[in-house]
């Protein structure tokens, strides 16, 4: 099998996720603060036999096998959709490709795992890719940009921000079951809870993890708790164990916990792993999608 290309894209957490009322287009307007993490999905693309179309193989050993098994390998896989959409935009036939996806981001976890796969699918210019990416999912453009950024519209309009001046250390607790994004947004509509959008442009000037933790919020958190009550206990447990702030990531159910240091995050991960929790450490501010060779 001749390798054409290797590419990768990062996971995201939403440091702030403010959600407005459901709009006529079926989406909720959001005011979101994204941070990319150095937890990357890796894609390897090789030319397939003539006429075989796109075939996808998914694997990974740092997240539960149930997550790997939950990823479709047919036309509904976001990588498949991305490759097919690019081919259509270019006016060429769908390519014959063997695509290997090394998954590291929890599946259906509110961390943009599928979006990162789409973002890592080889590209045109970053702007063109972001534009096409938005048709595939609201989080795809951010996974293309990486770093830290504001997301407005339905989350797909990206304004890159200056990086934070300090390192952020995260512990991510994956759930064995996923939560569907539309279901969480529907629960949000029922609860009728949301905050007015705030100005997040000054966030790059925050000077410590403590200060950043005090700015974190997620309007979807109560909706995720209502669907999976154990999540609120997990947030409380993480904060008792020393997290500066623990919060549902995006539409969940992954919990993202911010720690003062990498050593502390690793120490707490060991406690949780011994209790059977899938706990992954990561650093914030990672690069967006890129070619790795
Ligand atoms: O854009 P994405 O495919 O990730 O969205 C999945 C679903 O989540 C949408 O069809 C919509 O029901 C919901 N959603 C929303 N408002 C957003 C983003 C997603 O209601 N800003």
Burial 255-284 (b: 16+ CB within 10 A, else e): bbbbbbebebbeebbeebeeeebbbbbbbb
pLDDT at residue 130 is higher than 90: no
What is the per-residue pLDDT for 126?
A: 64
pLDDT: which is higher, 244 or 126: 244
Strand blocks (E) in 53-128: 54-59, 97-102
Cα-flanking dihedrals φ and ψ of residue 146, to 5°?
A: 70, -160
Mutate to test the pocket of ligand 1, among 16, 27, 150, 189 (most ligand atoms within 8 A of CB): 27
Q: How remote is the CA of residue 27 from the centroid of ligand 1, in Å?
A: 6
| Residues that are catalytic | 12, 139
Whether the Cβ atoms of residue 218 and residue 49 lie closer than 8 Å to each other: no
pTM: 0.84
Between 123 and 98, whose confidence is greater? 98
> pLDDT over 70 for what percent of the chain?
96
CB burial of 110-133 (b: ≥16 within 10 Å; e: otherwise) equals bbbbbbbbbbbbbbeeeeebbebb
Distance from Cα 57 to the centre of ligand 1, integer Å: 26
| Closest alpha carbon to 200 in 64, 1, 18 | 18
How far apart are the CA of 182 and the centre of ligand 1, in A? 6
Q: Is the pLDDT of residue 1 over 60?
A: no
Asked if residue 160 lies in contact with residue 122, where contact means CB atoms within 8 angstroms, the answer is no
Q: Other CB atoms closer than 10 Å to residue 229's CB: what's the count?
A: 9
What spacing in Å lies between the alpha carbon of 274 and ligand 1's midpoint? 35
Question: Average pLDDT in the 172-187 region?
Answer: 94
Q: What is the pLDDT of residue 45?
A: 85
Q: Which residue, judged by its Cα, is nearest atom 15 of ligand 1? A: 27
pLDDT for the residue 128: 67
Residues with CB under 6 A from ligand 1: 26-28, 30, 137-139, 154-155, 181-182, 185
pLDDT tens, residue by residue, 187-236: 999 998 777 899 999 999 999 999 999 999 999 999 999 999 999 999 99
Ligand 1: residue whose CA is nearest its atom 10: 182
Question: For the chain, what is the mean pLDDT?
Answer: 92
**How confident is residue 125, by pLDDT bands cut at 50, 70 and 90?**
low
**Span of 67-71, 129-133, 161-165 with lowest mean pLDDT:** 129-133
pLDDT category at 3 given cuts 50, 70, 90 is low
CA-closest residue to ligand 1 atom 7: 182
Nearest to 113 by CA among 252, 266, 291: 252
Residue 124 has pLDDT above 70, yes or no: no
């Amino acid at each position: 099998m001749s390798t054409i290309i290797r590419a990768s894209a990062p996971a995201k957490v939403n440091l702030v996720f403010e959600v407005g009322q459901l709009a006529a287009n079926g989406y909720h307007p959001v005011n979101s603060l994204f941070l990319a993490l150095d937890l990357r999905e890796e894609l390897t693309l090789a030319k397939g036999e003539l006429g075989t179309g796109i075939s996808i193989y998914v694997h990974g050993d740092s997240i539960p096998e149930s997550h790997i098994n939950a990823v479709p390998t047919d036309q509904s896989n976001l990588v498949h959709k991305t490759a097919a959409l690019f081919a259509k935009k270019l006016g060429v036939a769908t390519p014959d490709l063997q695509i290997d996806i090394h998954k590291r981001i929890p599946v259906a976890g509110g961390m943009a795992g599928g979006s990162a796969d789409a973002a890592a699918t080889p590209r045109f210019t970053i702007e063109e890719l972001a534009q096409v990416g938005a048709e595939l999912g609201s989080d795809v453009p951010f996974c293309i940009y990486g770093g830290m950024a504001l997301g407005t519209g339905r989350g797909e309009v990206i304004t890159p921000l200056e990086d934070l001046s300090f390192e952020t250390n995260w512990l991510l607790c994956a759930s064995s079951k996923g939560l569907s994004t539309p279901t969480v947004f529907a629960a949000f509509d029922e609860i009728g809870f949301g905050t007015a959008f705030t100005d997040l442009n000054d966030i790059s000037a925050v000077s410590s993890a403590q200060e950043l933790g005090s700015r974190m919020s997620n309007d979807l958190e109560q909706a995720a708790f209502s669907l999976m009550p154990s999540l609120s206990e997990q947030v409380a447990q993480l904060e008792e164990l020393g997290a500066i702030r623990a919060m549902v990531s995006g539409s969940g159910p992954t919990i993202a916990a911010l720690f003062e240091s990498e050593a502390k995050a690793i120490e707490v991960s060991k406690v949780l792993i011994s209790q059977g929790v899938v706990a992954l450490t990561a650093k914030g501010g990672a690069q967006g999608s890129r070619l790795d060779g």
